[in-house]
Structure 1
Amino acid sequence: MVFGRSKRKAGDSGAIVDFWTWWPTVRADVEAAISSGDWATLTPQVSRRVEAIHPDLEWEFYRGTTAKHALVVSAAGVAELRPVAARWGALAPPADATWEYHTARQADPAVLEHTIGIGEGVQLDLAQLHFAFTRAEDSPEIAVVAYHPGFRMLGEDARRSVTFLALDWLLGEDGVEEWIGEISWETEPPDGAARPNELAAAVEALREEFGTPQWILLRGDSPEGPVIVAVQRPLRPVRWPRFDTHVAITLPYRHRTEAGLPEAESLAALRDFEDNALTPASGADGILLAHETGAGARILHYYVDADSPAADDLAEAAGWWKDGRARVERHFDPALERIGHFR
């Protein structure tokens, strides 16, 4: 395994094109270095190329899942970097027998059968690692507590690193981001501590239940009256890695109940406008993740790719709303923080 983290603050999207232009010129050298272990020249080269894309991306050469080798350029769980890694991956060449390309570390549970060195002189047999895990009723995520008897010999940072690395090896980086909620670790065996394969099975069951995003309805109250929210769940940014910009479109409506909710005529108009004007405007470069209705207005929460025209197209389409003056706001929000309270 060879990996690195870019450090300086620089880069633009043109660097992605430059990376993939450069890659064929060095690919054979990388294959030779994997065999020989001589990375003295190549590691700085790869780091410079990745740094040019974004200073905080991480890169890694690893054993492939279907190809012989894999090149991973990862956001390392940082929401702001996920769209950058996704754009890098979108321009990758097709996988072949020798190379495959990923924007997140892939699962490799076999690593958990080995011993790893942590710090100076501490060896952890990962076969002794256990996880206790719980899930609230109807929740699309699992809370995890990691335990290893060797945690007693480690500081807090090292325990955290081992826990997150182990979860990545067990579930893959995206699997952790998508299905795991609160993560903690203990120096004493927690109740319900189980082997890693049991956690993997629980995540697989969750994936089968929520693999296709589901719309749910939430109801609440505001000072102006009742509010009804429709939202996709699981609401996890990793599901939509390119969509880093929040476009909130507020549509006032005329025909409403005393409580401020839309009557049949306005409700039909809102649905038609969403289906036939707004969503087509976002196209393949955006998605509607939630809308909230109350007090005489509906706010539709679209997320789009900032490198596409989708935000401008949505703003133009919103101008055709006839029931009042539409308002459009946009913000950089790769972590879905502006609708996180709907989770």
Structure 2
Amino acid sequence: MSVIGIAAFLAVLYLISYFMNWAHYEGDEAKINGFGWMTLEDSANGNSFASNIFALAGLLVIITLGWGVVKLLWSDSPEEGVRDILIAGGIAVAYALFAFMFKMAIGAFITDGKADQVEQCRKDAKSLGASSTVVRDLCGSYQTPFTDPQSGAGPVLCLLAGLVTLMLGAVLAVTAPQAREKLGSFGVTIPDAVPIVNLGGAFTSGDQLFAAATGSSSASEASGATMKVPAPDPRAVLGAVSEFWSWWGTMSGRVTGVVENDPTRAEGETMDTIALQISERVHAIHPRLEWSFGPGGDESRHRLTVSAAGIRTLQPTAARWYAAAPAADGTWSFRTLRPATIEPFICDGVSYDPAQMVYSSQNMRLGVELKIWDPRWKGSASAALGSLFRKPQGAQGSQGTPDSGQLRPSTVAAARLINRVLGEETAAGWVNEYKAVGSDPRDSRPARSLPNETGYYTGKYREAIASGGFADLNIPDPDKLPRVAHIRLPLASVIAPTCDVHVLIEAQPHGTDTVNAGFSPAEAAEKLFRSAESVVEKNGGKLVVYTTHQFRPEAHFYLDGASDSLDDVVNQIKSLAGSWKLGTAAVKVHSDAAWDQVGYFRWALGA
């Protein structure tokens, strides 16, 4: 709820209460005294502490607070419960402060018949020469908001209730990881913890992780596919990538000796020393990248993978590492997107088995939104408060499992599950949003069924995906006007891995000019878009969406931000738009490694 919404509510309530005062008749049993505080006439003339009853605003706060508690305790979205508790506290505090500041302004105009009688009595008594004591005893007194200091009890109670509610919400927000994930909407950032990774142990042929760059402590990040890490400077990435491959060129023989347990070729290196050297160089590209050794399949005996680990803003970074990799030989091959597997995995020192995890899903237009749950994850208020007194999630007992008996939901573990079960390419292309929840979501299914969710889309758009062409979807614009969107699928950076600069052309065809030229407005705009596409594709970019619209057709391109020709390509597009004779066109350029600028086409409800 915005500040504007709260202010509007208070303003309406203020007017209602004012007119209730203005319309009341002398002798009424009850009245509202200007700000929603109900005053009973027969209770110490409305001045007692208890008589200032929390009326309309109190009811709103109580409802909001109660709904938040229900969500926190019994829903699969406890973070939304914490948010509602914080909103309730904020409303109460804002309401009280508003009352303190402005109560007197209207109160000065609110009196009743008794006040007029007292004033007339005083004038008459003074005209007869009566003393002040006699006047007071004879005429009595009346109270207004200016002379009634106890009438502030209601706002004081409201302020105290609001502060206590905010404190409760803050405690839950800091201690519950699923609440921490939502704090970005309040402008709050909680720093990540630093993971501790064991670099020891012998090499295995599976997808064993040796890097210190796990990025496994992102509890403060937004949930799911919206996990955001600032994208690095593309040109700086190229420098670090070049240094990595220069090192690899001199060390690959020793790395082979280590993984094949050949001391002669290893030349004194061990798995620990090699892991530290690789980690150092991968960190230099970006500290949140992950790397791993594994079998090379048909290409080679071994494979080195450097992955963005599902963080969309880092996918172009990992892609630049892969683009500079040498060709596969019989010994080593390379990749940046890990394939699907249902093997167990470890996250923050905790072992997870995909066979024990479940999910629920909601279909979006071009992808799914997922809720992930592990039976050990608890999201109740007691679990959140209890985390203050428990060891961190990574603490382990003798069996390698947390000794707390209860785990907090982990967004990173949910991400790892999705990326492993689907494979990173499929997850990046078709999972729009995900979050870890603290209770079994409604209509849950086994995690091994996740491929069925994305398979719906890959089956539905099989021809467009296979051809690399466009799928045509009827997608209304933000003003609900009809338009057709022509979209390359999947609408994610996996179809243009190093492209992280978004270029938008917004066209406005001139109806008369296009008709005279023998085109419809849509055809005229498409000619402009196709001309720009030919320039973009020659320089490694891609047209990913263009729309057919009567008034505002648009086209979305992505370019390689590290390309030496980037500025020249952008200038050519601007020149084409400026010289377009069938209407006017504007060009906008954004850095967009996560492809957020085209997210609208993916995320709207409805498959």
Instruction: Report the alpha carbon displacement of residue 244 of structure 1 after superposing the two structures with TM.
Output: 0.8
AA partner of residue 41 (structure 1): T
Matched, 1:47 2:279: yes
Q: Deviations over 1:233-281 (max 9, x none)?
A: 5433333322211111233322169xxxx99444332222323x21101
Secondary structure of the 2:427 match is: helix
Match of 1:326 among 579, 585, 588: 585
Alignment-derived partner of residue 335 in structure 1: 594
**What is the 5 A alignment of 1:123-202?**
126=353, 128-136=355-363, 139-151=365-377, 153-157=405-409, 159-186=410-437, 188-202=439-453
Match of 2:556 among 288, 301, 304: 301
AA partner of residue 92 (structure 1): A
How many residues were matched structurally? 327
Alignment-derived partner of residue 504 in structure 2: 248
Secondary structure of the 1:289 match is: strand
Whether the 8 Å contact between 1:256 and 1:263 is mirrored in structure 2 is no
State the TM-score, normalized to the length of structure 1: 0.80
- Quickly say closer, same or farther: Cα 1:31–1:238, change in 2 above 3 A: same
Secondary structure of the 1:331 match is: strand
CA distance in 1, matches of 2:478, 2:254: 62
Alignment-derived partner of residue 123 in structure 2: none
Instruction: Report the alpha carbon displacement of residue 194 of structure 1 after superposing the two structures with TM.
Output: 3.8
CA distance in 2, matches of 1:41, 1:269: 61
Alignment-derived partner of residue 215 in structure 1: 472
Whether the 8 Å contact between 1:145 and 1:190 is mirrored in structure 2 is yes
Secondary structure of the 1:248 match is: strand
CA distance in 2, matches of 1:86, 1:180: 19
AA partner of residue 49 (structure 1): R
**What is the 5 A alignment of 1:28-177?**
28-36=253-261, 38-66=270-298, 67-109=300-342, 111-112=343-344, 119=349, 126=353, 128-136=355-363, 139-151=365-377, 153-157=405-409, 159-177=410-428
Whether the 8 Å contact between 1:131 and 1:144 is mirrored in structure 2 is no
CA distance in 1, matches of 2:406, 2:253: 40
Secondary structure of the 1:269 match is: helix
**Identity, % of aligned positions:** 27
Matched, 1:25 2:250: yes
CA distance in 1, matches of 2:373, 2:312: 27
Secondary structure of the 1:150 match is: coil
Farther-moved stretch of structure 1 (139-148 vs 297-306): 139-148
**How big is the alpha-carbon RMSD for the aligned residues of Structure 1 and Structure 2?**
3.4
Instruction: Report the alpha carbon displacement of residue 172 of structure 1 after superposing the two structures with TM.
Output: 1.6
AA partner of residue 560 (structure 2): D
- Quickly say closer, same or farther: Cα 1:248–1:183, change in 2 above 3 A: closer
Farther-moved stretch of structure 1 (191-200 vs 330-339): 191-200
AA partner of residue 161 (structure 1): V
Instruction: Report the alpha carbon displacement of residue 30 of structure 1 after superposing the two structures with TM.
Output: 1.6
CA distance in 2, matches of 1:17, 1:321: 41
**What is the 5 A alignment of 1:203-242?**
203-211=454-462, 212=465, 214-220=471-477, 222=479, 226=481, 228-232=483-487, 234-242=490-498
Whether the 8 Å contact between 2:355 and 2:448 is mirrored in structure 1 is no
Unaligned runs of 5+ in 1: none
Match of 1:287 among 539, 542, 547: 542
AA partner of residue 372 (structure 2): A
- Quickly say closer, same or farther: Cα 1:163–1:317, change in 2 above 3 A: same
- Quickly say closer, same or farther: Cα 1:143–1:240, change in 2 above 3 A: same
Alignment-derived partner of residue 272 in structure 1: 527
Instruction: Report the alpha carbon displacement of residue 101 of structure 1 after superposing the two structures with TM.
Output: 0.9
Whether the 8 Å contact between 1:251 and 1:321 is mirrored in structure 2 is no
Whether the 8 Å contact between 1:5 and 1:56 is mirrored in structure 2 is yes
Compare CA radii of gyration and give the structure with the larger one.
2
Secondary structure of the 1:5 match is: coil
- Quickly say closer, same or farther: Cα 1:341–1:199, change in 2 above 3 A: closer
- Quickly say closer, same or farther: Cα 1:62–1:326, change in 2 above 3 A: same
Instruction: Report the alpha carbon displacement of residue 83 of structure 1 after superposing the two structures with TM.
Output: 1.3
AA partner of residue 288 (structure 1): L
- Quickly say closer, same or farther: Cα 1:86–1:155, change in 2 above 3 A: same
Farther-moved stretch of structure 1 (42-51 vs 185-194): 185-194
Whether the 8 Å contact between 1:281 and 1:317 is mirrored in structure 2 is no
Structure having the higher helix fraction is 2
- Quickly say closer, same or farther: Cα 1:70–1:130, change in 2 above 3 A: same
CA distance in 2, matches of 1:226, 1:194: 37
- Quickly say closer, same or farther: Cα 1:6–1:197, change in 2 above 3 A: closer
AA partner of residue 340 (structure 1): G
CA distance in 1, matches of 2:594, 2:433: 16
CA distance in 2, matches of 1:93, 1:207: 31
Secondary structure of the 2:329 match is: coil
Whether the 8 Å contact between 1:245 and 1:304 is mirrored in structure 2 is yes
CA distance in 2, matches of 1:324, 1:105: 46
Instruction: Report the alpha carbon displacement of residue 301 of structure 1 after superposing the two structures with TM.
Output: 1.8
Whether the 8 Å contact between 2:376 and 2:407 is mirrored in structure 1 is no
| Larger RCO (CA under 8 A, 6+ residues apart) | 1
CA distance in 2, matches of 1:48, 1:247: 35
Whether the 8 Å contact between 2:422 and 2:450 is mirrored in structure 1 is no
- Quickly say closer, same or farther: Cα 1:154–1:311, change in 2 above 3 A: farther
- Quickly say closer, same or farther: Cα 1:239–1:295, change in 2 above 3 A: same
CA distance in 2, matches of 1:185, 1:288: 34
Whether the 8 Å contact between 2:475 and 2:483 is mirrored in structure 1 is yes
Whether the 8 Å contact between 1:3 and 1:61 is mirrored in structure 2 is no
State the TM-score, normalized to the length of structure 2: 0.48
CA distance in 2, matches of 1:201, 1:221: 31
Q: Deviations over 1:23-69 (max 9, x none)?
A: 13211222233245933322232123223333432222233343332
Instruction: Report the alpha carbon displacement of residue 183 of structure 1 after superposing the two structures with TM.
Output: 2.6
CA distance in 2, matches of 1:297, 1:49: 47
- Quickly say closer, same or farther: Cα 1:33–1:331, change in 2 above 3 A: same
